[in-house]
Structure formats: structure tokens, C-alpha cells
Structure 1
Amino acid sequence: MTVSAPASAPAATLPFVDRGPLSHAVMSHLTGDDDAAAADHTGLATAAVAASADVVRDDDIQLALFVLYASSYGSLPQLDADLEWDPALLTTRRILEEAFESALRARVPMPESPEPTVDAVGRALFALAAADTGPSLSRHIAKKATREQAEETLIQRSVYTLREADPHSWAIPRLEGRAKAALVEIQSDEYGGGRPQRVHAELFARAMRAAGLDSTYGAYVDDVPAITLASHNMMSMFGLNRRLVGAIVGHLAAFEMTSSIPCRLYADGLHRLGFDPDVAAYFEEHVEADAVHEQIAARDLAGSLAEDHPELLPDILFGAAACLTVDGWGGEHILESWQAGTSSLRPRVAS
């Protein structure tokens, strides 16, 4: 599969281009560009939110949020580290987050609230995951996908998976007791249990290279649609805002509970299509690991947090439901594109 090189970016070192005046201004500010537009990204954020028909799928808004969050992760070294806590950038981020969170809360269907006990919350989360019966991208990959579609799936996943586990790790210092211990147990596995070569993000980078793709973080940002950025941005928003610690815990629970079986299907499809074994190895790693993690995440993490802090239960459920809903929207976009005979990726602007 060939993906064309990106067009010139407002800051020459970034591996992707802006998607409108807001993302242009944010990128310019964070890369130290002297572009005059960088000075007014807060006003542009207010205007973009007011004009947007759908904040969740708005390319300019979602790319701006992605770059703002990348400043905190350090995932794009081209961004000036001295600007991470710049007041103007934080104001812009807050404007976008308020609109994004409001849109999610208005559109994500919420389950009935259980009693705030470990067992009741665990059962409710498993029931929520079981009720998620939308179109299955993993089944398509297992049975029907072409090699090019499988490569597209790796590209779509790269925005999060090359930083796998990082959004949820923001919650570690914000938890205590049973919930903290459970999260650290999960994250220790995600980060390889002390073995750098087993870090899950590195396993995915190896998978991309084995598939002939670029494993550099950000290499395919130009290619993915806004809904893919929104999925990652949602995790970042939940993780970086202390008031949303319940939501990031719920998100992780749902994420782990819907991973094991799909990963087996992805691996089956990659073997069927003749990919290098290193490509399927990433998914095979998750088949057994996530079957264990789902129990820890649902009960020991989310259940104990709700039991110890009942006031967080609504956000735990919101985070779980948002994970399933937004990732479902992303999967629908991919499958609908393929059913229409088109790519799920964005067309590149010719350089």
C-alpha cells in the first residue's frame, strides 16, 4: 500500500498539515512559528465551536485538540516543551474540551446505574459490553478484508496504539488503594513488565514495520479522519482532567473488556492475508492478556473505585459507554467506506 508524502506544513518539521485556521494557529504557536495567526487561536477556537455542525467529526477542531494533547504527552518532539503550560494554549484547549465533552454527554447512550459495589458495577460493565452489537471490524478483517484494508486498519489504529496505555496512565496518581493497585497491575503488563521489547506500543511499532508501514509517531495523522482523532482525544481529555478520573477508569474497563476476542479475529485475518508473523504477534499478545485484564479492570479497578467513591459512578459508566460508542462510530466509518468501495483514509493534498 502506498501513502503519498504530506503537503508542506505550517511548521516544516511537523509530519502533517493543518485542517483549517484553528489547527494552523495551534500548530504554529506550539512549533514557535512567527505566523501572526498563532496569536489568535483562542478566538479561532470560540468561532470554530460556534460554527461546527459536529464537534466530534470536525477536522479542524479534532486536529487542534490532538496537537494540544501531544504537547503534554511529548509524542511530537517538534512541539516546544516550554509551551506545554502556556496560558493561551490552555485556554484554547479548555474551550475545545468543553464543547467536545458536551457533545459526547449529549450523544452517548447511558446505561442504568447499578449499586456502587464491586460486584454490581462489574456486572453492569460486562452487560454494557455484551450489549454492544454493532458492525464488527475485527470479523471483517478475519473473513473478508483485503490486504490493503488490513493495512488501513493498522494506520487507523496507529494514532492511539503507538502510544498505547499512556492516556490511562494519567489516572495513576489520581487513584488510591484498591483502584490504584489494579490500574498499576494492568499498566505494568501494557508496558512490558520491565521488558522494553514487550512494551505493547513497541510491539505495535514492530507490527507496522513488518507490514511495510512507517512506525514514526504522527506519520499517518494526515491520513486518518476526525473520528479517529476524536477517539484518541477522548481518552486524553478523560486522562488529563482530574475531575474526569471516573471516566478514564470506565473507558479502560470497556476497552479491556472488548479487546480479547477482536484481537484473536484480527490475528486470524492477518495470518489469512499472509502478513509477516510480527504483524499478528501484536494482536496475539492481547488475546490472553486482555482476557485477564478485563476482570481486573471491571471489578478491581472500576468496581472498587465506585465502591470507595460512589460519587464517581456516573462518570465511570459514562467513560465506558463513551468508549464503546465512539469506537463504534470509528468502526462504522471504516466499514461503510469499504462497503462503498472507497478508502477509509483521507485523501492527501498533493504537494
Structure 2
Amino acid sequence: MQLPRPRGPVSAAVIGALRGGPFDAAAVTAATPAAGLREADVQLALWTAYEVGYRGFDDADPDAERDLRVLAWRKAAEDLLEADLRARTSTMVDEARAGGRSVADRIAALVRDAPGAPLTRHLQKHATREQFQTYLADRSIYHLKETDPQVRVLGWIDGPAKVAHAELLYDEYGGGRPERLHSHLFAEAMRAAGLDATYGAYIDAVDAPTLVSNNVMSLFGSQRRLRGAALGHLAAFEATSTDPCRRIAAGAERVGFPDAVAAYFHEHVEADAVHEQVVLGDICGTAVAADPAIEDDVLLGAATCLLVDVEAAQALHDLLVADEQRPPAPLRVLRGERAAS
């Protein structure tokens, strides 16, 4: 994968540094709030700083992952993002504490009370093939590395929670069968829908809310102190997957895509119904029982997932219904154009 195209001065500075160029961490850090924490420039910079530690970039400096200048900026950006998330979810977390006696009950209350977005119903009943392709391209930023942000968390927990978490990861990674890797199944769905399944192919097209949705997973999954938030995010993610996946599968069948497209979502209708129970009780419940101090962060992670994923879904829905005459951004990239900065 190549480094993405910058969206503004902050991402230009970070991307240039990862290529081995000069970088003034203090100056870029000072410019970050003014650039807009939730805007595409800052979020692309943060995504790139994280991604160098996942699959990496072919045109980055070989030692980019350990560039102390970029790591210093990343920490400052993470602190801003974490503070923003804590402020925006504080009411949700406070209300969840009164939602039941167990952490599983409290997460369930968060999920029950969270607002939804009309995206998956639009895909089920109204979306065109091109709109569906746009959805798949947008989701590819996560699904082509599905579950990878959770891997480090396994080393930060112990006992029954560790065993249950490992079991869930084993399932996500194909249960010992490479052809059943969930990321592979999504790549197959993309190819069946006529899309480029290359890892990161559509990063230049996705908007800020999608980048935020991806970045919070890396934020929580890269720091031991936020292990509770990583587990809570996983719980909310799994608990809100089954019904949307059922609707998306129906939409894929309605527009006449090959079976591989709907198959990915049918797989998650079944798998995530099981995962929801595992992650609520066997992972989050036992992790909090072993370490009660992480419960507030578990609720933070769950609330964050519900907040930012709805924002991303609403933004994509609005793009699809507002841009009926011109193919939305991911398809413009497919045809050799680029999304506007």
C-alpha cells in the first residue's frame, strides 16, 4: 500500500515525515486543534500514524514505525481525541451506570438507548448497485483488517476473559481455515461486487467520520491503560451487528450481486449473535470482575462505538441520498478520480 494523499497541512506533515522528511512535532501539534480534531486532515494523519504499525506502506521510511517525532505528535493527537470522546459520551456513560447491576446489563442499556442511523435500511430497500458499492468501499477500511486492533488487548487481560477473547479472535481469524478469515470473506465480497479488494485501496475517498470510527479502535487497542475501552468497544460492536448485517444481506440480494456479497453478511448474522453473548458476559463481565477499576472505561468504549459508528453511518447515508446524480467518492476513485480534500 502507498501512503495516502494528504488532506491538509497536518496530514501532509505526518505523511512527509513517514517518508523520511523533516517534521516539527511541536509546530504540527500546535496546529492540530486549529485544523479541527474531527476533520479529515487530522483524522487521516492519525490513521496513517496508526497504519504504519499494521500493514505499513511501501513508500514509507523502513524505520517509520519508530519515528519518535511522529509518535510524539500521535500521543498529543490521541490525548485530544480521548478527551473529546470522554466529554461527548459522559452523559451516556452516566446513564448506563443506572441501567443495571452488571456491566453486561449496562452495556445492553447503552445499546438499547443509542440512536440509530437509516443507512442499513436504505441499503436493504432502496440503494442502487453503485450506492452499495460505495458502502462496501467505505467499510473496507476496517473490514480488510477486521479485528486486528483487538489483538494486543489479549496480552493485557488474564484468566477467563483472556480465554474467551482468544476464542472470539480465533473465530474472527477463520477458526484455523485461511479461506474463512473474515477479512478474506470481505475481500471476496468486494471482488464479487466489482470493487478493488486491495488493502487500503479506498483510503483517499473516505470521509472524516469513517476515519474517526477506525481510529478509535486503534486508540483503545494500542494502550494498555485503555484495555477496558477496547473491550467495551468490542462488546458494543458485536451487540449491534446482527440485525444490520441481516438487512445488508437482503439488500445485496435485492440488487442482484453474486452470492459472495450477501454471504459475508450472512456469516456475521450467525457469528455475531454468538459473539455478543461471549463478549458481554465471558469477556467484559469476567474482566471487570477481575479488575473493577476498568468498568468505567468499558462503558466509555461501548458508548464511543455507538456514538462514532452512528455518526459514520449517518454521514455515509447522507452522501448516498444527496449525490444521486453523480457516483459517490469511492466509485470516483475506482474510475481514476479523487475525492475532494
TM over 0.5: yes
Cross-structure match for 1:99:
80
Cα deviation for residue 291 of structure 1 reads 0.4
String of CA shifts for 1:40-71, please: whole Å, max 9, x gaps.
2441132122x14x412x11110110110011
2:30 aligns with one of 43, 46, 71: 46
Q: Which runs of 5+ in 1 are unaligned?
A: 1-12
Q: Secondary structure at 1:222's aligned position in 2?
A: coil
Cross-structure match for 2:9:
21
Return the letter of the residue paired with 2:278: I
2:42 aligns with one of 54, 58, 61: 61
Contact 1:250 1:319 in 2 (8 A): yes
Cross-structure match for 2:160:
178
Alignment root-mean-square deviation, CA: 2.0
**Equivalences, count:** 330
What is the rounded CA distance, in whole Å, between the counterparts of 2:339 and 2:263 in structure 1? 34
Contact 2:16 2:23 in 1 (8 A): no
Give the stretch that moved more between structures: 200-209 or 23-32: 23-32
String of CA shifts for 1:250-289, please: whole Å, max 9, x gaps.
0000000011111111110000000011111111111111
**Same amino acid, percent of matched pairs:** 45
2:312 aligns with one of 322, 327, 330: 330
Cross-structure match for 2:329:
345
What is the rounded CA distance, in whole Å, between the counterparts of 1:344 and 1:99 in structure 2? 31
1:159 aligns with 2:141: yes
The 5 A counterparts of 1:174-213 are 174-213=156-195
Cα deviation for residue 199 of structure 1 reads 0.4
Cα deviation for residue 223 of structure 1 reads 0.6
Cα pair distance change 1:232/1:123, threshold 3 Å: same
Cross-structure match for 2:116:
134
Cross-structure match for 2:251:
269
The 5 A counterparts of 1:216-227 are 216-227=198-209
What is the rounded CA distance, in whole Å, between the counterparts of 2:17 and 2:83 in structure 1? 26
Cross-structure match for 1:148:
130
Contact 1:142 1:270 in 2 (8 A): yes
Cα deviation for residue 114 of structure 1 reads 4.2
1:309 aligns with 2:291: yes
Cα deviation for residue 298 of structure 1 reads 0.6
Contact 2:188 2:260 in 1 (8 A): yes
Cross-structure match for 2:335:
none
Cα deviation for residue 158 of structure 1 reads 0.7
Cα deviation for residue 80 of structure 1 reads 3.1
Cα deviation for residue 15 of structure 1 reads 5.5
Cα deviation for residue 81 of structure 1 reads 4.0
What is the rounded CA distance, in whole Å, between the counterparts of 1:156 and 1:165 in structure 2? 17
Return the letter of the residue paired with 2:28: L
How does the TM-score come out when normalised to structure 2?
Answer: 0.91
How does the TM-score come out when normalised to structure 1?
Answer: 0.89
What is the rounded CA distance, in whole Å, between the counterparts of 2:97 and 2:87 in structure 1? 21
What is the rounded CA distance, in whole Å, between the counterparts of 1:317 and 1:66 in structure 2? 24
1:231 aligns with 2:210: no
Contact 1:164 1:201 in 2 (8 A): yes
Cα deviation for residue 83 of structure 1 reads 2.3
What is the rounded CA distance, in whole Å, between the counterparts of 2:173 and 2:287 in structure 1? 23
String of CA shifts for 1:164-195, please: whole Å, max 9, x gaps.
00011120111111111111111100000110
Q: Secondary structure at 2:195's aligned position in 1?
A: coil
Return the letter of the residue paired with 1:146: T
Return the letter of the residue paired with 1:65: L
Q: Secondary structure at 2:175's aligned position in 1?
A: helix
Contact 2:174 2:180 in 1 (8 A): yes
Structure 1: 4+ residue segments shifted above 4 A: none
What is the rounded CA distance, in whole Å, between the counterparts of 2:273 and 2:238 in structure 1? 8
What is the rounded CA distance, in whole Å, between the counterparts of 2:45 and 2:203 in structure 1? 12
